[in-house]
A = this chain, B = another copy of it.
Amino acid sequence: MAKTNPGRFFEDYTVGEVIRHAVPRTVSGGERALYHALYPARHALYSSDTFARACGLPASPLDDIAAFHVVFGKTVPDISLNALANLGYAEGRWLRPVYPGDTINSTSEVIGVKQNSNAKSGVVWVRTKGHNQRGEVVLDYVRWAMVRKGDVDAPAPRTVIPDLAPALTVEQLVVPEGLDFSDYDFTLAGEPHRWGDYEIGETIDHVDGVTVEEAEHMMATRLWQNTAKVHFDVGARPDGQRLIYGGHVISMARTLSFNGLANAQIVAGLNGGTHANPCYSGDTIKAWSEVLDKAQTAVPGVGALRLRLVATKGGAPFTLKGEDGKYLPHVMLDLDYWVLMPV
């Protein structure tokens, strides 16, 4: 019996199964420092203990997207080692901040399967939860991927397609316990724009760009213990290029969006996301945002913006799809998410 992990194939997933993912991870100030070295991260709540305390939190948490990467990375050996494509995300909720010293592990429940008409692959839906050392859920999201069959003759399972919300409502978002923006210091945060200054339909070109390097995306992807071969080994794909982890593009775009959204401190919900085109070393990532919706939360002073975040490698800002309805080739990421900010 081979001792290495061959990964799971489409026929290995059964709706209702809960998979406990391996390799729990304790995070520290080291992960924070690396996140700030790998991305232009500047949101004050995630940079400064004193700023976080002034906002009612016990300390500065790990960046929400970094927390997502830690949880996601653990799922790769069980979910996407034989994936042909990562198709989408839905119903992602950050339920509790992750602090230095916390230990995170992940579980996924299979919530849907649908064999493709070619009978060579199928779509698997999982609801993944990240837990801390006290068993509290810190993050909960649905992801679906197209996975190869190992045995093309394996019978097709009964199709189950989960009923997923196109977007979370503001009532579904969780405001971190204790969060209080009444003494919020806009100067220290970097911009004067509060929740009330953003209008639905408004678009923001985040202006800055970063040309990405092989060493950086590999360090980032390894830090989250994501083991997919295509990110590390030039021999893993026919074109000899290392495909950059889609999460690297998410983090780059989100941190670039500081310029124009500096007060969009907390990522609270992930409504959906598409990795529209691949990213490779040498590409220059830029980002633009569109305000899709806005609402007040139940916590006084805390507003929520629903944002589209688009990462590009060229092209004009605010262009997304062609006349054929397909993403333009310079669009790498189209993310739909909720942030919390001072009203």
Contacts and interface: CB of A to CB of B under 8 A. Distances in A.
A42 to B, nearest CB: 5
- Residue from A44, A105, A205, A218 with most neighbouring chain B CB atoms (10 Å): A218
Interface in A234-257: 234-236, 242
Interface in A276-319: 284
Given A5-B259, A105-B188, A44 B22 contact: yes
A164 interface: no
A36 interface: yes
A103 B48 contact: yes
Interface in A28-61: 28-34, 36-42, 44, 47-51, 60
A85 interface: no
B190 A209 contact: no
A44 B23 contact: yes
B188 A211 contact: no
Contact of A233 (B23, B36, B49, B284): B284
A328 interface: no
Given A26-B50, A28-B33, A103-B48, A232 B208 contact: yes
A32 to B, nearest CB: 6
A37 B190 CA distance: 29
Interface residues of A, number: 77
Contacts of A190: 5, 22-23, 77
Nearest to A49: B26
Contact of A222 (B25, B32, B36, B232): B36
Given A30-B30, A33-B33, A47-B25, A218 B213 contact: yes
Nearest to A22: B190
A65 interface: no
A88 interface: no
Contacts of A227: 40, 42, 208, 259
Interface string A1-42: 011110000000000000010111111111111101111111
A137 to B, nearest CB: 16
A165 interface: no
Interface in A198-217: 198, 204-211, 213-216
Interface in A174-232: 187-191, 193, 197-198, 204-211, 213-216, 218-220, 222-223, 225, 227, 229, 232
A133 interface: yes
B284 A3 contact: no
B42 A225 contact: yes
A203 B261 CA distance: 50
B24 A30 contact: no
Nearest to A255: B222
Contacts of A60: 26
5 contacts: A22-B188, A23-B190, A30-B34, A48-B105, A227-B259
Given A208-B227, A210-B232, 15 more contacts: A3-B191, A4-B260, A23-B190, A24-B51, A24-B188, A26-B60, A33-B33, A34-B37, A36-B223, A37-B219, A37-B223, A38-B219, A40-B227, A47-B225, A49-B103
